[in-house]
Amino acid sequence: MGLTELAAALTLQDRMAADLAERQDRRGVLLLCEHPLGISFGREGSAADLFADRYELTARGVPVEWLRRGSGAWAHHGGQLVAYLLVPYLRCGLSALAVRDRLVASLVDVAREFGVAGEPAERPGVRGRCGQFGFVGVSVGNGITQFGACLNVSVPRGVLQLVRWGPDVRPSCLAAERMRPTAMAAVRESWVRHLAARFEYEQVHVWTGHPWLRRTVRRGVVCVES
């Protein structure tokens, strides 16, 4: 979906999850996007994990959202690929734990395809020699999974340092692990393919955007490195 406001993605996710809950088949939906600068907290996060001043962020139009997903605090920015995975896990014969494990495995698959010796991290996700660059946080309800994971492809260091990603977690990026620029389009294609394989979907249809997506325009705040 390209660069999508966090609130817009959450609204679209809820509408699609409600639609899938009414079905009786194994149809699933994967929403892939990047978010502008923002902070989100999962069930394991706390206000102490935010290193920036929350009121200053609000004044600058940077969203700070408390979500029902797993995991802790995540900092969002362009260069980070966020996956919202909506799968009827019960109809697929899966447990919530199996969904989490398959998401982690898909991140490891992507890392290895790009030449990075990634391995599952203690905080669910994938880590390499420089730190953890993939994080998994899932929520389930009405038999449908929501949220999913984020993969730091090429995120400014200053953004990574806005939050504590977890106890003893050193955040990193796929590009830093590879020590070379990494094309977002190639990562998207790889992740879609590996997710489909891990969740045993033989047919995948790809669309750009969605008619339910309502984009908003606000002041942009971008972090860059020299």
Tell me the whole-structure pTM to 2 decimals. Answer: 0.92
216 is a domain residue: no
Of the pLDDT bands very low, low, confident and very high (cuts 50, 70, 90), residue 122 is very high
- Enter the tokens of residue 187: 């990562």
In sequence order, the 6+-apart residues with CB closer than 8 A to the CB of 167 are 123
Q: Quote the DSSP letter at residue 48.
A: G
Which token pair is 162? 């806005």
Q: Which CATH number belongs to the domain containing residue 95 in this structure?
A: 3.30.930.10
Q: How many residues does the chain have?
A: 226
Report if residue 135 sits inside a domain.
Answer: yes
pLDDT confidence of 211, banded at 50, 70, 90? Answer: confident
Number of domains in the chain: 1
Check whether 9 has a pLDDT greater than 80.
yes
Domain of residue 80, residue span:
6-198
Q: 38 with 62: CB under 8 angstroms?
A: yes
- pLDDT grade for 209, boundaries at 50, 70 and 90: confident
Contact 75, 39 (CB under 8 A): yes
Domain membership flag for residue 177: yes
129 belongs to a structural domain: yes
pLDDT-above-90 percentage for the chain:
87
Burial class (CB in 10 A: 0-12, 13-18, 19+), 180: exposed
